[in-house]
Amino acid sequence: MLLSTYVKNTYATKVVLALVLISTFALSDIVRAQETENPYPIDQLIGDKVVGDFVLGPGRVELEIAPGESKTVELTVSNRIGRDQEFVITTEDVTGSTNEDTPIVLLGNDTGPYSMKEYVSVPQERFTLAHNTRARIPVTITIPPNADPGGRYGTVLVQTVSVRADDVPGAPGAPSSAVISRVGTIFFITIPGSVEQEGYLTRFGTVPEQKVYQSGPIPFGVLFENSGSIHLIPHGEIRVANMLGEEVGVLPLEPWFVLPRSVRLREVSWDREFLFGRYTATAYVARGYGEDIDELSYTFWVLPWKLVGIVFVIFFVSIFLIRLFFRTFEFKRKGSPNPPTHNGTHTNE
């Protein structure tokens, strides 16, 4: 009897131990699977709004890293698609352009003249992110000990994997096709040392070029060329004066980046309640290095056609009335009888 009870208790103990071990291993596998799907720290977003997109931040990162050193920055990916989503992280070089319409060119698998992609690493390229959560991704840039001074430029891209339109809440469902979205953060890496800094303001005027406007706003364009070996960040202002030389407007030119061996157009618009006559706009641009300030001017007219038409009508009507008045006065003078003349001789009767 005691032996039978002992055997039963031993058997029950073994079963319990086996279940505990199975549960432990299963839980361990689940944890490992979750870590494999997403190795990054996760934050819960406020609210539960479905927008149908994802957000990557920040949009730009500037770092100075000496040869042989590393720096790590944190990017964030927020999933607002409305479902769990798998993402892929890739890196591409970027370069500037002499075409003002395309200031930045992504090079894909090609290597750029100021390549950065071989210096970038992330813990894991693929990860899955639940809806309404945000992943914090550490990106490390390591500069080789023998790297030359100058700029290195690239982008870290985050791309969705095989998203179908009918899987995205709120997205158009017809036709059902693959929708692949990618967003990038541009990296500006400066390796300190002797570098070539050279740039200047090459053109200033209206965009497109136009000399006469009916009304505001007036669109200005400032074209800056960087002929050096490192990116520049010019900035400045535009001052507008009327035909009397009085300053009637000041427009700030917020800093903008220009990659090496490229041009970039900065556009701003100016407006005020009433514009009429001849104006002269002058751009003052600091190059982003040293103390040189470039200066270019542009003259344009603002002639509201309706107002000009009314002025011309009033002018011609006034001329007509004045001429009519003088003609009438002259006609009356010609039509009046001659006054009697007296010769001073008197006859006595």
CATH T-level fold of 199-302: Immunoglobulin-like (2.60.40)
- Determine the Cα–Cα distance for residues 187 and 141; give it in Å rounded to an integer: 10
The token duo for 63 is 């770092």
Instruction: Using the structure block, give the residue that is written with the tokens 């009508």.
Output: 313
> Is the backbone peptide bond immediately before 234 cis, with ω within 30 degrees of 0?
no
Q: Which residue has the tokens 């009314």?
A: 310
What CA–CA distance (Å, rounded) separates 83 from 54? 11
Q: Which of 114, 96, 57, 109 is nearest to 80 (CA)?
A: 57
Domain ranges of the chain: 37-191, 199-302, 307-333
37-191 in CATH: which number? 2.60.40.10
- The two domains 37-191 and 199-302 share their CATH topology (first three levels equal): yes
Residue-wise pLDDT tens for the chain (349 aa)? 443 444 445 545 554 444 444 444 443 443 344 444 678 999 999 988 899 999 999 999 999 999 999 999 999 999 999 999 999 999 999 999 999 999 999 999 999 999 999 999 999 999 999 999 999 999 999 999 999 999 999 999 999 987 554 555 555 444 445 567 899 999 999 999 999 999 999 999 999 999 999 999 999 999 999 999 999 999 999 999 999 999 999 999 999 999 999 999 999 999 998 899 999 999 999 999 999 999 999 999 999 876 555 665 676 667 767 776 777 766 566 655 555 555 555 544 4
Whole-prediction pTM: 0.73
CB 139: neighbour CB atoms within 10 A? 19
